[in-house]
Structure 1
Amino acid sequence: MENTFNKIIEINEAMKHFRDGMIIMFGGFGGIGTPPALIDGILENGLKDLTLIGNDSGFPHIGIGKVVSQGRAKKMIASHIGSNPVAGQLMTDGKMEVEFSPQGILAERIRAGGVGIPAILSDIGLDNDIVTSNKQTCNLDGKMYLVETALTAEISIVFAKKADPYGNLIYDKSARNTNPLVAMAGDLTIAEVEEIVPLGSLDPDEIITPGVFVDYIVPSKGVNWNWAWE
């Protein structure tokens, strides 16, 4: 009988869920907390015309920045791209569309997508004509707000320190950053994990992302997971 509590798959199997032109949301902050094997898988499979959603564009050769720098993204939704000059050049040349969102608003838009809220209201940017020109506004109790739409993705990719076969996740320090929110907001969520432990080994109080949000687990390079099938 198939073990429905075992979500561990190999990287090649995980990549079968990806395709050109899809929307991918990624965890991480400047490369910290972004899943390296899944990023390499995107590159090795030649995926292109992607829409990427995440905190930033990484660095030219680190994190999601490797995907951006190779021109694989047609659009990016992020809080900033300053750490990756290649991203800035692509935007200037009109080769990649960039939608900026303040970091806190971006995180809240992702959270809203994860819990099924269609939009949030914010007064940040109301005094900026560039911001208000392409967003809806709303009057609530006599005060104006911008309508910030929720963000979701076809696939979310996250990076965790430890997981059990069901997909309960624990993150390592600052690598936690946006990963818990991103894990909630994907139609399909794939977690790359540094250490996989038997079911029941994790202290429930330590678990940050419950396995209900995770569809598949990909062992990071060098992880021994053969015991999971014994």
Structure 2
Amino acid sequence: MRTRITRRVVTSRAGGVSLPPYDSFNLGDHVGDDPAAVASNRERLAQQIGVAPDRMVWMEQIHGRNVEIVTGPVDEPVPATDALVTTVLDLALVVLTADCVPILLSDDEAGVIAAVHAGRIGARIGIVPRVLDVMVECGAELGRIHSFLGPAASGRQYEVPAHMQADVESRLPGSATTTVRGTPGLDLREGIRRQLVAAGTAGQVEDPRCTIEDRTLFSHRRGAPTGRQASVIWMHTSEVP
């Protein structure tokens, strides 16, 4: 019997060919790195996860709330979008981050998955509720959607002006926090987690790593210019005895 399996992967800085300050497994093609190095790193990622390079789907992320349904391989990054949804097997959806929150969503029973880029602006204007709506349109049920929130800037380190904190908190309750320096901060993962709970989704798993603190990860706030790590989700079938 064949069964459908959902896979998720998060990369780190290690294992690529990019030179400083993008060393070494930079997967972002918009940060000033050598395009040949980025292409090599992207091909290496595809090989490592067992997905054909032409079935990796990338985004032109713009900190918005646009969601795109992907029905097959694409030749170029999907333009001007911050979330991808698919029901297609062996199609890997990729989100790039270096402090923003990468979110990987799946309704395994319905066979609907999504990859979401949720930075301060996108989270504030509702990228998460929007992508949940699109997943439901594709056959998912909120009560079956599981969420993975990847490494991101933590509330311990993500310092913002007080007026910005108040503005985001008014739109994303639970995100306001205090940093280790006693200054106003944002914990976007916590705000998003509460949003997912309030929507009635099935459960959330968080990678607790802070990109600003963990030097095995890329962080734009810690040191720009820098590279981008990838969070990837895809479905494939496997033989089960």
Q: TM-score, normalised by structure 1?
A: 0.30
- Point out which structure has higher relative CO (alpha carbons under 8 A, 6+ apart): 2
Instruction: Give the greater-gyration-radius structure (CA).
Output: 1
